[in-house]
Amino acid sequence: MRALDYLNIFLADVRDGVGPYLAIYLLATQHWDPASIGIAMSAMGIATVVAQTPCGALIDALKQKRLLIVMAALLVGVSCAAIALLPTFAFIMTAQALNGIAAAIFPPAVAAITLGIVGPKKFAARIGQNEAFNHAGNVGAAALAGLAGYVLRTEWIFYLVAAIAGASILSALVINEDDIDHDVARAALPRNAQPNNAVSGIRHCSRIGRF
């Protein structure tokens, strides 16, 4: 549970990538025009919308939910660090699209892990705690980013996000895999319940007429 707390703190900044810092960096340091900045900023949002459904289905289908978080955080960390080294239009568009895919993984993966650990009865209270730590992480990351940009250089904000992504990876790996009931994480019955019970997913939703 403590590792889950830290995961929510560190993912607060990682799941949004560099966010508004990128626009400031491209305008003040790289001198991009507003139209190009707008396109670069929208690339992440568009990629997130497109990736939400397949990423959600993947998280439901796989038990390696921690690994998905690790891979997504690694993707964000590498792409954010690389943006500072290669700030070309094509590369930043690619990095933003990859960050958008990663952003579609974090919320459902953390929610599934939380549900698998605490169960449905305690899920609502635990999600509230997740959000509390998430907001605390946002405040802390913003303060560190402002300090890094003021004392060092604007590029160091990207390296800071990469470092926080590394901390997110460690937090995800510290969560004990045996503490996660992957059936409950898919909104099914617990491990010791009868087999072949219905679980959440696209096929199940289509059978009950949700789609």
Query: Does 72 fall in a domain?
Result: yes
Q: What radius of gyration do the chain's Cα atoms show?
A: 18
Q: 3-state DSSP call for residue 3?
A: helix
pLDDT value at residue 211: 43
Query: Does 201 fall in a domain?
Result: no
Classify each residue of 176-205 as buried b or exposed e, where b means 16 or more C-beta atoms within 10 Å of its C-beta: eeeebbbbbbbbbbeeeeeeeeebebeeee
pLDDT value at residue 193: 55
Over residues 188-197, the pLDDT tens digits come to 765 555 555 5
Please report, rounded to a whole number, the percentage of residues in the chain having pLDDT higher than 70: 87
Q: Where does residue 11 rank: exposed (0-12), middle (13-18), buried (19+ CB within 10 A)?
A: buried
- The tokens 């960050």 sit on which residue? 99
Range of the domain at 159: 2-182
* Averaged pLDDT of the chain: 82
pLDDT value at residue 208: 45
Q: Count structural domains, the chain.
A: 1
Query: Does 99 fall in a domain?
Result: yes
**Which has more confidence, 154 or 189?**
154
Contact 166, 75 (CB under 8 A): no
Assign residue 56 the CATH number of its domain.
Answer: 1.20.1250.20
Q: What is the pTM of this model?
A: 0.80
Over residues 46-69, the pLDDT tens digits come to 999 999 999 989 988 888 889 999
